[in-house]
Amino acid sequence: LFRGYEALYHVDGNYKYIAAVEHDLNYAWKNSRDKYGFLTHSWSAKADEIAKPKWLLGQACVAELYARLSLIKAAKK
């Protein structure tokens, strides 16, 4: 999904959708991590979600999103 928003951004220059994903990602990072630093599947801060086991594959997207956001921001400068 984010790759589509990124492609659209490179065409129209509108940061709106990138900003929405960035906002939600930052919220999840601050509020929905468990004691090991893993985010919940739904990125929600509910205690029962935080207590559930996590898939490592689900965590990889967080690193990719932050990397892609960094590249976009670096290109804006």
The encoded tokens of residue 44 equal 């929600």
Domain ranges of the chain: 19-76
Half-sphere exposure of 69 (CA within 13 A, CB side): 17
pTM for this entry: 0.87
* Residue 72: partners with Cβ closer than 8 Å, 6 or more residues away: 6, 9, 18
Angle at CA 27, nearest 5°, toward 55 and 35? Answer: 45
pLDDT in tens, 5-58: 999 999 999 999 999 999 999 999 999 999 999 999 999 999 999 999 999 988
Amino acid at 27: Y
Whole-angstrom Cα distance, residue 58 to residue 14?
A: 28
